[in-house]
Amino acid sequence: MNKKAYYILEDGTEFEGTIFGHVGETIGEAVFNTSMSGYQEVLTDPSYRGQIVAMTYPMIGNYGINEEDVESSKVQVAGFVVKEYCKHHSNFRATSSLDEYLKKEKITAIEGIDTRKLTRHIRNKGAMRAGIFLSREGALEKLKSSPNMEGLDLASEVSCDKKYTFGEKSGEKINIAVYDFGVKTNILRLLNKSGFNITVYPAKTPLKEAIDDGAKGIFLSNGPGDPDAVEYAKKLVQDIAAEKIPCFGICLGHQLLSLGLGGSTYKLKFGHRGGNQPVKNLSSGSVEITSQNHGFSVDMASLEGNSDIEITHINLNDNTVEGIKHKTLPIFSVQYHPEAAPGPNDSTYLFGQFRELVERSI
C-alpha cells in the first residue's frame, strides 16, 4: 500500500509524494546530485552525512543493489528523493532492490516528486533544511529547530573509532597514513593499487602516532560538514607542514589543508554534486570531467595573498578553487573526486602523482 508523504523545505515549499524504504520521518540539508547512475555509491558516501539527496535523473532503482558498489559500511544519507522509483530491478550483480536496502538500513525515501522543480528551487534559493514528513502538521517548526550545516563537525561522526589496515601489506609497497574524515572505499582501493600499504586512522589522531608507525606520506580524506568546524585538523596540517612529509588531500581534505595553510572557506549556494563537473588544470591547460560532492569551497582571495600556495585547478562552471599545491613543500590537494565512484576516471593520475611525491621524499 502506498503511503502519502511530504517533502517540505524550510522556506515553506512543499512537494507531495509516496514513501518507500523505511516508513518514518527525517530531516537534513536539501541537496541534489546530477549523476545518471551510481545511486548506491551516493547513498553510502560519508560526505552525504546529514543530507537529503535528490537525484535529478528521473528513474532510480532500475539495477538494484549489490554488495560490491558501496563506499562505506552503511547508508550515510539522511533521506533520499527521486522522481520515480523503479520497483522491478534487473542486473546480474543485484542482491536486493533499492526499497529492500533502504528498509534494512532504516532510511526514509520519497518518490513522485517533481525533481526538476525541486532542483531549480535549490539552485535559485540555495541549499536549506528540509524533511520528509508523514504529516504537514508541525513540520516547519521541526525544521527550524534543527541544526544548520554551517558550524557542524560531521567528520568526527563518520570517522573510524580505531586505526585499521586496508588491503594486503607488501614489503615492496610504501607505508602511508590515511586520515579518515569520512573516507570512501574506492579511494582506499586506488591508493592500494598505486603501491601503498595503508593504515587508516581516526580523524583526531596526532601526526606523531602515524609517523611512529612508519608512515612516509599522509592522505587527508573526503568527508561531510563544515570544514571550519573541524578545528583539530588545522593543528594536524601545521604539523604535516613542519615535518615536510608528503601529503595529498581530497574534497574535505583539500579544504582542511587550505585552512591549515592560512586560507579560509565559505558555503556555496547549492554546492557541486554529480559526475559531470568540468575542471581546468592550470598547469597543462587540459580540462577534466570530474565527480564532485561538496557544499563548501576554499576562498580564492584568501590564497592569492599567500606566496607559498599555487592554485592548480579551477571549476569552469563558476571559477571556484578545485586544486592547490605548496610551492616548496610536498603538499597538494584537489576539491573534486579523482576516485570517481560514481563518475568519470579522468583524474585517477593524481594517485600516481602522490606515489611519485612520496618516493622522492624517501
- Selecting among 29, 71, 251, 313, the annotated active-site residue is 251
**pLDDT tens digit sequence for 152-186:** 999 999 999 999 999 988 989 999 999 999 999 99
Residues 168, 66: contact at Cβ < 8 Å?
Answer: no
Q: CA 76 to CA 358: how far, in whole Å?
A: 32
Query: At a CB cut-off of 8 Å and minimum separation 6, what does 135 contact?
Result: 6
Predicted confidence (pLDDT) at residue 305 exceeds the cutoff of 90: no
Domains of the chain listed by start with CATH number? 3-144 (3.50.30.20), 155-361 (3.40.50.880)
**pLDDT tens digit sequence for 4-27:** 999 999 999 999 999 999 999 999
- State the average pLDDT over residues 122-141: 97
The reply to whether 86 belongs to the active site is: no
Please give the model's pTM, rounded to 2 decimal places. Answer: 0.96
pLDDT of residue 175: 98
**pLDDT tens digit sequence for 88-114:** 999 999 999 999 999 999 999 999 999
**pLDDT tens digit sequence for 254-270:** 999 999 999 999 999 99
- Selecting among 294, 313, 326, 337, the annotated active-site residue is 337
The reply to whether 337 belongs to the active site is: yes
Task: Give the 3-state secondary structure percentages of the chain, helix then strand then coil, rounded to 5.
Answer: 25, 35, 40
Pairing of strands 287-298, 247-250: unpaired
Q: CA 51 to CA 191: how far, in whole Å?
A: 27
- Selecting among 10, 29, 288, 339, the annotated active-site residue is 339
The helix (run of H) or strand (run of E) holding residue 354 is helix 349-361
- Nearest Cα neighbor of 302 from 268, 263, 335, 333 is 263
Farthest CA pair distance, the chain: 63
Predicted confidence (pLDDT) at residue 1 exceeds the cutoff of 70: no
Query: At a CB cut-off of 8 Å and minimum separation 6, what does 309 contact?
Result: 258, 261, 262, 263, 303, 324, 325, 326, 327
